[in-house]
């Protein structure tokens, strides 16, 4: 006989980890299914190649205009905690202008007040604090920003005082100073036996049946590490596999809404590096402890710069570009030899969600990207500003990386208009009842800031909604449940 839960959650990242942990702590029966392995601080090492192999999703690319415009490399976590296990923990609330764009995109009236109590809760859970403990590699760059009339300010992040500034955030934090949904929401509930966590358990299908005059989600089908297939029944299913995976899972499960997979946003980013005479050791710091927000809004340029950061040596070397395009041969070797002397910034540009997640006829995945001239201008301006700031700081050479995305969003848009969105204002599918989306896919328009805090706040809101159960979906609906007081 199939097992039965109140809620099955697919994916344990920023969205799924919060939803599963919150519901489990409130006494709901929850199974959390994660495609990747369960690795913890005891396993994490500063060996770049091992981490990318074991806890990252295999490297994927979005084709810009079918590849004619180049590619965007996409990085994501594939482990318990999802991308929050390998991210840099910058904690920013969305700006009210970001929310205004949501209404234009999917007809949803949503403002800062709707999320404020949920931001408060997740910030408190994560222990968000200011990082003004800057190292040399930032002090080196700061005068360059000032010379351009701009300012570097301390970021807020979910890292506690055990942060040893080792620079290893992308390989998993070895001290647990860097918070993740694994350490903050999943482990507390799992360790107390309240949450059924199943790692290395990729979900292949949401089970959907014709019931009560419509279509309803009834559970999920997953494969375990031994390759055995299992079905689980659930009163509600939350898909939170990240903006690249969630739409694929919905399509494979027969959710026919043509909006699924559309409106993918990448928040395109590139690293820009300056070479200095003195060693900077930008790989041995908390990676992003400052930012420049002067150009955050579209009318001010539409980009945010974060500093100081550098990729680990392999990532640094395989993505380096100069005026002639990707570097190779002796110039690349020479640049890599001076690794300790480079410091850099991350230049992120606002985009307009013109990408897509596509399931090909043979079932394979494809990611499309396209930039309108306004978007391309922001990307170019972000590079130009970064170069000028780094040069003004005294760099003897400036190089940069190709385009990447670490902030994919928007492929299952949340909205009140079913013609323009996939889920409603509470994340429930317009087409299939009891089916919810709880991750970055629902963000109707890409934010101008790092998105994880907003994804977690939306997830906290969805957990509350599921627990309040206004539609009477949950079998344990009579249960009196209590939210954790963060």
Ligand X SMILES: Cc1cc2nc3c(=O)[nH]c(=O)nc-3n(C[C@H](O)[C@H](O)[C@H](O)COP(=O)(O)OP(=O)(O)OC[C@H]3O[C@@H](n4cnc5c(N)ncnc54)[C@H](O)[C@@H]3O)c2cc1C
Long-range contacts of 216-219, Cβ-Cβ distance < 8 Å, separation of 24 or more: 216/432, 216/433, 216/434, 216/435, 217/429, 217/432, 217/433, 217/434, 217/435, 218/434, 219/2, 219/8
87 binds ligand X (CB under 6 A): yes
Q: Give whole-number Cα distances, 472 to 217, 462, 476, 482, in Å.
A: 14, 15, 9, 18
If contact means CB under 5 to 8 A according to the sort of partner, which of ligand SF4, ligand X, none does residue 138 touch? none
Q: Is 61 in the site for ligand X (CB under 6 A)?
A: no
Q: Report d(CA 471, CA 483) in Å as an integer.
A: 19
Which does residue 13 bind out of ligand X, ligand SF4, none, counting CB within 5 to 8 angstroms by kind? ligand X
77 binds ligand X (CB under 6 A): yes
- Least distance (Å) from ligand X to the CB of residue 443? 9
Characterize 241-279 residue by residue with b for buried, 16 or more Cβ atoms within 10 angstroms of its Cβ, and e for exposed: bbbbbbbbbbbebebebebbbbbbbbbbbbbbbbbbeee
| Positions in 321-350 near ligand X (CB under 6 A) | none
For ligand X, the closer of residues 13 and 174 by Cβ is: 13
| 178 contact choice in ligand X, ligand SF4, none (CB below 5 to 8 Å, kind-dependent) | ligand SF4
Which residues of this chain interact with ligand SF4, rule CB under 6 A? 159, 163-169, 173, 175, 177-178, 286
Would you count residue 219 as binding ligand X (CB under 6 A)? no
CB 429 within 8 A of CB 231: no
Shortest Cβ 3–ligand X spacing (Å) = 16
Q: Which does 446 bind (CB under 5 to 8 A by kind): ligand X, ligand SF4, none?
A: none
Q: How far is the CB of 355 from ligand SF4 (least distance, A)?
A: 29
Looking at the Cβ atoms of 395 and 462, the one nearer to ligand X is 462
- Give the residue from 314, 303, 298, 299 showing the smallest Cα distance to 345: 303
Q: Measuring CA to CA, which residue among 204, 108, 109, 212 is closest to residue 433?
A: 212
Closer CB to ligand SF4, 165 or 194, in the complex: 165
Task: State the binding partner of 84 from ligand SF4, ligand X, none, CB within 5 to 8 A by kind.
Answer: ligand X
Choose between 238 and 288: whose C-beta lies nearer to ligand SF4: 288
* x/- track of binding to ligand X for residues 238-257 (CB under 6 A): --xxxx-x---x--------
Least separation in angstroms between CB 142 and ligand SF4: 20
**Is residue 35 near ligand X by the rule CB under 6 A?**
yes
Can you tell me the distance from the alpha carbon of 177 to that of 105, in angstroms, rounded to the nearest whole number? 37
Q: Which does 452 bind (CB under 5 to 8 A by kind): ligand X, ligand SF4, none?
A: ligand X
Choose between 172 and 219: whose C-beta lies nearer to ligand SF4: 172
Q: Taking CB under 6 A as the rule, does residue 458 contact ligand X? A: no
CA dihedral 37, 38, 43, 48 (to 10 degrees): 40
Could you tell which of ligand X, ligand SF4, none binds residue 406, using a CB distance below 5 to 8 A set by kind? ligand X
The span from the CA of 43 to the CA of 303, in Å, is 36
Under rule CB under 6 A, residue 455 binds ligand X: yes
Residue 19 interacting with ligand X (CB under 6 A) = no
- Hey, CA dihedral for 195, 196, 198, 202, is it positive or negative? negative
Name the residue nearer to ligand SF4 (CB basis): 167 or 202.
Answer: 167
Minimum distance from CB of 348 to ligand X (Å)? Answer: 10
Question: Is 34 an interacting residue with respect to ligand X (CB under 6 A)?
Answer: yes
The count of chain residues that interact with ligand X, using the rule CB under 6 A, is 41
Binding mask 352-391 for ligand X (x = CB under 6 A): ----------------------------------------
Piece in contact with ligand X (CB under 6 A), picked from 122-130, 133-141, 236-244, 271-279: 236-244
- The one of ligand SF4, ligand X, none whose footprint includes residue 166, by CB under 5 to 8 A per kind, is ligand SF4
Strand 290-292 with 153-157, pairing:
antiparallel
CA distance 341 to 201: 43
CA–CA separation, 163 and 229 (whole Å): 41
**Given the complex with ligand X, which of 78 and 341 has the nearer CB atom?**
78
Closest CA to 222 of 253, 176, 268: 253
Cβ–Cβ < 8 Å for 44, 173: yes
| Tokens 């919150």, residue located | 22
Task: State how far Cα 129 lies from the chain centre.
Answer: 20
Q: In whole angstroms, how close is the CB of 160 to ligand SF4 at the nearest point?
A: 8
172 in contact with ligand X (CB under 6 A) = no
Quick one: which segment of 46-54, 295-303, 324-332, 449-457 binds ligand X (CB under 6 A)? Answer: 449-457
Q: Which is nearer to ligand X, 343 or 440 (CB)?
A: 440
Residues in contact with ligand X by CB under 6 A are 10-16, 33-36, 75-78, 82-84, 86-90, 170, 202-203, 240-243, 245, 249, 406-407, 439-440, 450-453, 455
């Amino acid at each position: 006989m199939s097992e039965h839960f109140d809620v099955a959650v697919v994916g344990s990242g920023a969205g799924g980890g919060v939803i599963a942990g919150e519901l489990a702590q409130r006494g709901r029966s929850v199974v959390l299914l994660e495609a990747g392995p369960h690795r913890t601080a005891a396993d994490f090492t500063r060996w770049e190649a091992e981490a990318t192999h074991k806890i990252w999703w295999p490297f994927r690319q979005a084709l810009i205009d079918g590849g004619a415009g180049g590619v965007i490399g996409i990085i994501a976590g594939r482990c318990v905690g999802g991308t929050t296990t390998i991210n840099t923990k910058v904690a920013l609330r969305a700006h009210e202008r970001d929310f205004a764009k949501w209404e234009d995109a999917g007809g949803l009236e949503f403002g800062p007040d709707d999320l404020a109590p949920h931001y408060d809760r997740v910030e408190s859970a994560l222990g968000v604090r200011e990082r003004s403990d800057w190292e040399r590699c930032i002090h080196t760059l700061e005068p360059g920003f000032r010379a351009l009339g701009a300012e570097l300010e301390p970021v807020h992040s979910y890292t506690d005082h055990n942060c040893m500034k080792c620079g290893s955030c992308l390989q998993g934090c070895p001290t647990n100073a860097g918070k993740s949904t694994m350490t903050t929401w999943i482990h507390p509930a799992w360790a107390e036996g309240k949450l059924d966590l199943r790692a290395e358990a990729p979900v292949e299908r949401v089970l959907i049946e014709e019931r009560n005059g419509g279509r309803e989600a009834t559970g999920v089908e997953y494969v375990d590490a031994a390759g055995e297939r299992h079905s689980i029944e659930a009163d509600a299913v939350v898909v939170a596999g990240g903006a690249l995976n969630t739409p694929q899972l919905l399509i494979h499960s027969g959710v026919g809404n043509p909006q699924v997979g559309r409106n993918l946003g990448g928040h395109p980013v590139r690293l820009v590096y300056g070479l200095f005479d003195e060693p900077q050791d930008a790989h041995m710091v908390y990676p992003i402890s400052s930012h420049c927000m002067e150009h955050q809004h579209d009318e001010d340029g539409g980009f945010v710069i974060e500093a100081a950061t550098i990729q680990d040596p392999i990532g640094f070397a395989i993505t380096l570009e100069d005026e002639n395009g990707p570097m190779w041969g002796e110039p690349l070797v020479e640049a890599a030899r001076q690794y300790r002397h480079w410091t850099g910034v991350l230049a992120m540009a606002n985009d307009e969600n013109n990408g897509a997640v596509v399931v090909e006829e043979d079932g394979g995945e494809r990611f499309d990207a396209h930039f309108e001239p306004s978007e391309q201008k922001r990307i170019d301006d972000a590079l130009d500003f970064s170069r000028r700031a780094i040069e003004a700081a005294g760099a003897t050479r400036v190089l940069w990386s190709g385009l990447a995305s670490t902030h994919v969003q928007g492929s299952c848009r949340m909205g009140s208009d079913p013609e323009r969105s996939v889920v409603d204002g509470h994340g429930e599918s317009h087409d299939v009842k009891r089916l919810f989306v709880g991750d970055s896919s629902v963000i109707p328009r890409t934010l101008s800031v790092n998105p994880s805090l907003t994804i977690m706040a939306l997830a906290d809101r969805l957990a509350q909604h599921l627990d309040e159960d206004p539609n009477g979906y949950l079998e344990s609906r009579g249960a009196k449940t209590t939210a954790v007081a963060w």
